[in-house]
Amino acid sequence: MSELEWMAEQFETHRSHLLAVAYRMLGSLGEAEDTVQETWLRYSRADTSDVQNLGGWLTTVISRLCLDMLRSRKSRREESLESHMPDMYESYKDKCDPEHEALLADSVGYALLVVLDKLNPSERVAFVLHDIFALTFTEIAPVVGKSEAATRQLASRARRRVQGTETAPEGDLVRQRKLIEAFLAAARAGDFEKLIAVLDPDVELRDDRRAGALAVTRGARALAEQVSGRIQAAAQIALVNGSIGVIAAPRGRLLYVLKYTIRQGKIAEVDLISDPAAIRRLDLKVLGSVWRY
């Protein structure tokens, strides 16, 4: 076996881990795979004879590449995940393996991918490496180019932004969540009667997806007919401006947010928000603190 073949074999044992790291940082399977390939090229050209922990060395390399990409993306003001609209999402599906990306996105949570995109590049890298992959701040500091103390602050600030402070009383959030989960379950199952049961008779749905106009649906029966059987499986519960709402993000690409107003235990208003500028003004948080590898 040649030295290059041996290196390739060693690299393959770390590929899945490197792809997982890059995907959580970049939120794009295509970009993550490109970054893994670039990591391999750098490894194949480097003298690693003194490297005792190859996995750690490779993680550092790919993290720096991801950080550079995130900074470049921000400086060019490229579209973030939250601005991928349905037509763009459909065209994207043909460019990568949907099943592969679905597995990656599901392993970390669609909502978390969306919220991570609201962090600045250094915060995102520090949070992903520490909170998801359990690297120490000593290991992360050289990657982001800051002191260990400053890196700890980055991760802490990112954690607060991701998890947030629940602005509604806990009891209210529990009741809201049960109601919205019942709405989602009934909509997905196409259960018309159960949908009617959770809606105020005069409920109003405001949908901004029609170009240049706001489509309004009024009345429980009309809204139930509109959403029955049409809520995507990727729609997940999240905090939207401190209250229970829904993020619809297939494979981590945000299509729309559902913001609810609840009165007397019924859903009285629903705002479907897909405009990227409007979404950026929302305070989105994920629920829970268990990150899966």
SS3 of the chain: the string is CCHHHHHHHHHHCCHHHHHHHHHHHHCCHHHHHHHHHHHHHHHHHCCCCCCCCHHHHHHHHHHHHHHHHHHHHHHCCCCCHHHCCHHHHHHHHCCCCHHHHHHHHHHHCHHHHHHHCCCCHHHHHHHHHHHHCCCCHHHHHHHHCCCHHHHHHHHHHHHHHHHCCCCCCHHHHHHHHHHHHHHHHHHHHCCHHHHHHHEEEEEEEEECCCCCCCEEEECHHHHHHHHCCCCCCCEEEEEECCEEEEEECHHHCCCEEEEEEEECCEEEEEEEECCHHHHHCCCEECCCCCCCC
| Pairwise pLDDT comparison (189 vs 234), residue with the higher score | 189
Tens digit of each residue's pLDDT (9 = 90 or more) over 179-195? 999 999 999 899 999 99
Q: Percentage of residues in the chain with pLDDT exceeding 90?
A: 48
Per-domain boundaries in the chain: 3-79+119-163, 170-285
pLDDT of residue 182: 95
pLDDT of residue 94: 42
pLDDT of residue 109: 65
Question: What fold, for 170-285?
Answer: Nuclear Transport Factor 2; Chain: A, (3.10.450)
State the pLDDT confidence band at 105, using cuts at 50, 70 and 90.
Answer: low
CATH architecture for segment(s) 3-79+119-163: Up-down Bundle (1.20)
Q: Percentage of residues in the chain with pLDDT exceeding 70?
A: 80
pLDDT of residue 92: 38
Tokens at 19, concatenated: 């792809």
Tens digit of each residue's pLDDT (9 = 90 or more) over 138-147? 999 999 999 9
- Say yes or no to pLDDT of 121 above 80: yes
Helical axes 15-26 vs 29-45, angle rounded to 10°: 130
34-46: average pLDDT: 95
